[in-house]
Amino acid sequence: MESQTKRRRIAVLNGPNLNLLGRREPGIYGSATLEDIEALVREHCAGHGAGAEFFQSNSEAELVEQIHARGDSIDGWVINAAALTHTSIAIRDALLASGRPFVEVHISNVLAREPFRHRSMLAGAAAGVISGFGAQSYMLGVRALLDLLDRGPA
Ligand code: DQA
């Protein structure tokens, strides 16, 4: 007999240069560090009975490897692939191969920036995209993903 809902587990992935948050172009990306964001996400997840794992890499290959390694043990992804958003078919394919839903997030509003940031290799395969709410984009992404996992697609 199913007695309890399974505890949700999500992974939050971060691409190149996001390790520099807090001192990287603060006028665009704000003052929160990735550690600050991680703490907020963990707290938010804990409050919703979910677990979160966090990962950042400056390497596309490493991100692909991590998606392969973590895919079986998590229920969904929140990903800020940073500049790789605009170029990486490999990350898109790895996420699709995981069979898990993902939400694409961006700190800045990429559609209000340079044209080369308007194209996303991931968005067409994502459950949805959240862009432009600063560090809060991550929390909105986590909320959207947990809702999706609990209730299914809208
Ligand atoms: C970003 C937007 C990307 O275009 C950029 O390359 C980043 C960060 C964002 O969170 O706003 O590194 O993903």
Q: Which residues span the domain enclosing 95?
A: 8-149
Query: Residue 93 half-sphere exposure, CB side, CA atoms within 13 Å?
Result: 8
Give the span between the Cα atoms of 56 and 14, in whole angstroms: 4
Give the span between the Cα atoms of 63 and 147, in whole angstroms: 25
Q: Is 86 a catalytic residue?
A: no
- Which pLDDT value is given to residue 6? 76
Q: What is the pLDDT of residues 79-103, one digit of tens each?
A: 999 999 999 999 999 999 999 999 9
The response to whether residue 110 sits with its C-beta less than 6 Å from ligand 1 reads yes
The response to whether residue 32 sits with its C-beta less than 6 Å from ligand 1 reads no
Give the chain's domain count: 1
Q: Kindly state whether residue 3 falls inside one of the protein's structural domains.
A: no
Report percent pLDDT > 70 for the chain. 95
Query: Could you tell me the CATH number of the domain that includes residue 49?
Result: 3.40.50.9100
- Which pLDDT value is given to residue 1? 47
Q: What is the pLDDT of residues 130-146, one digit of tens each?
A: 999 999 999 999 999 99
Q: Kindly state whether residue 2 falls inside one of the protein's structural domains.
A: no
Q: Is 138 a catalytic residue?
A: no
Task: Characterize 49-70 residue by residue with b for buried, 16 or more Cβ atoms within 10 angstroms of its Cβ, and e for exposed.
Answer: ebebbbbbbbebeebbebbeeb
Q: What is the pLDDT of residues 66-79, one digit of tens each?
A: 999 999 999 999 99
